[in-house]
Amino acid sequence: MTGVSRRNFLNLVGAIGGSVALYNSSRAMGLIAETGPVSNYQIKPADKGAKKIVILGGGVAGLSVAYELQMAGYECTILEASHRIGGRNLTVRHGDLVDELGNANICKFDDEPNLYFNAGPARIPGHHQRLLGYCKKFKVPLQIKANANRLAYIHETNLFGGKPVRAGEYIADARGFMSELLWKGGNQGAFDEMLTKEDVENLMGYSRFFGDLGLDGSYKGTGRSGSLNDRMLEHVKVKPTQDFTEVLKSRTGLMAALTSENYDWGEPLMEPVGGMDGVVNGFARNLDAKIILKAQVQGIHNKDDGVTITYQHKGKLHTLEADFCFNNIPAHFMPGIDNNLSPEYMAALSEFKRGNLFKIALQMKERFWENEGIYGGISFTDQAISQIWYPSHDINAEKGVILGSYSWNDDENEKFAQMSLEDRIKVAAQCGDKIHPNYSSYIESGVSVPWTRMNHMMGCGAHMEPEVQDKNFAILQKAEGRHFLIGDQISQHAGWQEGALASADNALRVFSDMRTQAA
């Protein structure tokens, strides 16, 4: 255990420090905002003078606004630019259109209900109470989704001989090596000025248990990471440890260690049975709002007593008058829409930066990963695909759909965006072969979603730089005349449905206060 840099040492300490430490540190740094329960404030009921609402965009935020205002007696119209509602809540199945700019294609998965691809949100944490509240209200059935899986793999081209390593082996070795250092520090008096003798003894005992150390405080490997033999019939033969320096260098290992520690990735995670668009369908079943699809908004104009919206639909320009407008359009489209919003408001909108995520899903003719003991969870790699997700549902079925790439890397995603679907599948297959033998031979079809090229979206997970966010959110989270901005972009949780619902929650609160004061 020589040649270890302080930075790598501290990175690994953070990775294995525990969810409480990670969460509290993230909160202190402003990286995670608290998520509260579903709001219980009362929206002022509609009256004869002001009851017409127009909602621009039928994403989750827009649908929730329509539902809540409908329940208070308002008349809602949703203008949606796409051929469907849901926004980035997109589940792709057999025969579905993937509306990519200049590269539209039809999903060729088998026509089976359990062969689907959640191209947008795919996880619901247990603390996302707004979203879970709607699932309960609309009777959207949920199932547990495995996220962390110690039998999944980490893989790095230049570490561990370029071979995949079980995540559990990495985590066990990381804990073991770190615990050995901690034990030796206590044994050599490194903490005597900070801790009492009893505390040091307890620390050494804890580190021995945490890392599965020997009586002398050394780490020689552990049965926690698996074994070389059939442990049901013989005493465990411990696997050799990984090289400590390589353990510290591994970024994919760090991701695997953090999977359960991140507040939004920790168990339990859930997903709707049959696909994430079960949330959208739940709203749709309970909405009386008029929904106009393929409606391209051209203008937004505030008036003293309402809002005028102009939009293109079926080749004609239409005008819609409403008392209030809730705007779910991605912020980067707003400069191209004629409006009379204030310069200060538009300047704040201009600070948003588009997110750039890429996903590809592959239908596999056989669930070969289950033969390797993998049932759900994620494998991490330093290759272009970044991650492979295994389905948690339909265990032991003949076929399955794997998420063959989930990439957050802007440079790699830009390369993927320039490829044809066939070339994207080829890259995903080549990368997968380095993790699972003969991976490419199981692929029957694939479908990909580069969010920066998806019509009417052209990005996802919009965000602002921290130094300007507070100032701009103070402007954008308020009413601009009779116009309200909504969507995950205007929350502290961009990219998550809970963030979208929180933004709608906030806008409705501001709206309700405005209506009460005007009464």
Sketch the domain layout of the chain as residue ranges.
6-31+168-249, 52-86+281-341+464-518, 91-150+356-453
Yes or no: domain 91-150+356-453 corresponds to CATH 3.40.190.10: no
Neighbours of 21 (CB within 10 A): 13
Binding-site entries for FAD: 80-81, 120-123, 297
- Report whether pLDDT(27) > 50: no
Give mean pLDDT, residues 118-128. Answer: 97
What pLDDT score does 41 carry? 66
Binding-site entries for substrate: 123
Residue pair 382/434 in contact (Cβ under 8 Å)? The answer is no
pLDDT class of 17 with cuts at 50, 70, 90: very low
- Report whether pLDDT(152) > 90: yes
Share of the chain above pLDDT 90, in %: 84
Lowest-pLDDT choice from 27-31, 32-36, 217-221: 27-31
Q: Which one, of 490, 484, 486, 485, lies nearest residue 463 by Cα?
A: 490
pLDDT tens for 269-326 read 999 999 999 999 999 999 999 999 999 999 999 999 999 999 999 999 999 999 999 9
The b-or-e profile of 268-289 (16+ CB within 10 A means b, else e) is ebbbbebbbbbbbbbbbebbeb
Binding-site entries: 80-81, 120-123, 297
- Report whether pLDDT(106) > 50: yes
- Report the distance separating Cα 113 and Cα 274, nearest Å: 7
Show the tokens assigned to 282.
């739940």
pLDDT class of 515 with cuts at 50, 70, 90: confident
pLDDT tens for 401-421 read 999 999 999 999 999 999 999
pLDDT class of 441 with cuts at 50, 70, 90: very high
Give mean pLDDT, residues 5-18. Answer: 48
CATH of domain 52-86+281-341+464-518: 3.50.50.60
Q: Is 432 helix (H, G, I), strand (E, B) or coil?
A: helix
Looking at CATH, the fold of the domain delimited by 6-31+168-249 is given as de novo design (two linked rop proteins) (1.20.1440)
- Report whether pLDDT(14) > 70: no
Give mean pLDDT, residues 152-162. Answer: 97
pLDDT class of 352 with cuts at 50, 70, 90: very high
- This prediction has a pTM of 0.90
Show the tokens assigned to 259.
């999977």
Give mean pLDDT, residues 142-165. Answer: 97
Q: Which one, of 487, 477, 459, lies nearest residue 327 by Cα?
A: 487
Q: Is 358 helix (H, G, I), strand (E, B) or coil?
A: strand
What pLDDT score does 43 carry? 87
* Secondary structure E strands in 198-274: 269-272
pLDDT class of 259 with cuts at 50, 70, 90: confident
Give mean pLDDT, residues 103-116. Answer: 97
**Burial status of residue 130 (CB atoms within 10 A of its CB: 0-12, 13-18, 19 or more):** buried
Mean of all residue pLDDT scores within the chain: 92
CA dihedral sign of residues 152, 154, 160, 164: positive
What pLDDT score does 180 carry? 96
Show the tokens assigned to 477.
């989270």
What pLDDT score does 356 carry? 92
pLDDT tens for 443-462 read 999 999 999 999 999 999 89
Radius of gyration for the chain, computed over Cα atoms and rounded to the nearest angstrom: 26
- Report the distance separating Cα 66 and Cα 290, nearest Å: 10
- Report whether pLDDT(423) > 50: yes
Q: Which one, of 122, 118, 125, 120, lies nearest residue 269 by Cα?
A: 125
- Report whether pLDDT(108) > 50: yes
What pLDDT score does 260 carry? 85
Give mean pLDDT, residues 155-175. Answer: 97
Q: Which helix (H) or strand (E) holds 392?
A: none
pLDDT class of 23 with cuts at 50, 70, 90: very low
Residue 237 half-sphere exposure toward CB, CA atoms < 13 A: 5
Residue type, 392: S
What pLDDT score does 42 carry? 79
- Report whether pLDDT(13) > 70: no
What pLDDT score does 519 carry? 67
Q: What is the dihedral of CA 419, 421, 425, 430, to 10 degrees?
A: -20
What pLDDT score does 518 carry? 77
What pLDDT score does 124 carry? 98
